[in-house]
Structure 1
């Protein structure tokens, strides 16, 4: 059984520069979530809680999960205040209770919160699958978004870990 972690896919991410292939990323996350649920897995949405005046301030429009995401009552929402959703939350305990065979990771932003989630999941002794075409960000001052995504996919594929870390496209995981 799988758990799918969807990182910070909230309305507040629509502010600022456009996110790389956001519509496609949302569609692929919805496809993966449906497949995980069909196979008795668990979908976990990570919800960033920003400070006062932040685009992700709790109970403001930007804090809400994107309305385009298909959600089910059994889905879990974990609220976080740091890049790493394992730090200061009950995510680790929830995953321990679920005991997934592997954790699929998708969401926003590739180089910050998605990266922290991948590394922390591995450090917390989980087998991880990074969904290479289901994470996004906007261009950075020094690098375009597509290059950041390629770079992080490469880095994650070369992490030194005692657990499994795999990179896969959505269509491979839907089979």
Structure 2
């Protein structure tokens, strides 16, 4: 059974500067989530929470998950306050209860919260699949978004771990 983690796909985080292939990323996350649910897997939505200075106070418009995300009553929502959703949350406990064969990781932002999620999932001894066309970010001052994404795919493919870390496109995972 798979657990699909969808990191920080929230209104306030995805407003502003254009995000790399955002509409495509949302569409692929929705297709993958439907497939995971059909196979009795679970979808875990990670939602960033912070103070009023960042517009991510629970219940505010910027904090809301994107309305374009297809949600189901069986989805689990994990609220976090740091980049790493395993820190100071019950994500590790929930995953232990679920005992997935592997964790699929998608979401926002490739170089920050998605990267932290990948590394923590590996550190928590899970087989990880990073969905290569299922995460996004905007251009950074020193690199464009596609370059950041390519760089992280290389890094994740070369992590030293006792478990597997693979990178795969949505279509590969759905076939």
User: TM bucket by the smaller chain?
Assistant: over 0.9
Find the counterpart in structure 1 of residue 62 from structure 2.
62
CA deviation after TM superposition for structure 1 residue 57, in Å:
2.2
1:15 to partner: Cα distance: 2.6
TM-score by length of 2: 0.98
Counterparts of residues 43-82 of structure 1 (less than 5 Å): 43-82=43-82
Runs of 4+ in 1 over 4 A off after TM superposition: none
Q: CA–CA distance in 1 between the matches of 2:168 and 2:14?
A: 26
Aligned-pair distance for 1:31?
Answer: 0.4
In structure 2, the partner of 1:132 is: 132
> Secondary structure of 1:163's match?
coil
Corresponding residue pairs, total: 175
- Displacement of 1:101 in angstroms is 0.1
Partner of 2:168: 168
TM-score, normalised via structure 1 length: 0.98
Q: Point out where structure 2 has 5 or more consecutive residues left out of the alignment.
A: none
Q: Where do 5+ consecutive residues of structure 1 fail to align?
A: none
- Residue 129 of structure 1 aligns to a residue whose secondary structure is strand
Q: CA RMSD in A?
A: 0.7
**1:26 equivalent in structure 2:** 26
d(CA) in 1 for partners of 2:104, 2:136? 15
Partner of 1:154: 154
- Secondary structure of the equivalent of 1:53? helix
Q: Which deviations, in whole Å up to 9, do the C-alpha atoms of 1:92-115 show, x marking residues without a partner?
A: 000000000000000000000000
Question: How far apart are 1:157 and its partner, in Å?
Answer: 0.3
Which residue matches 1:85? Answer: 85
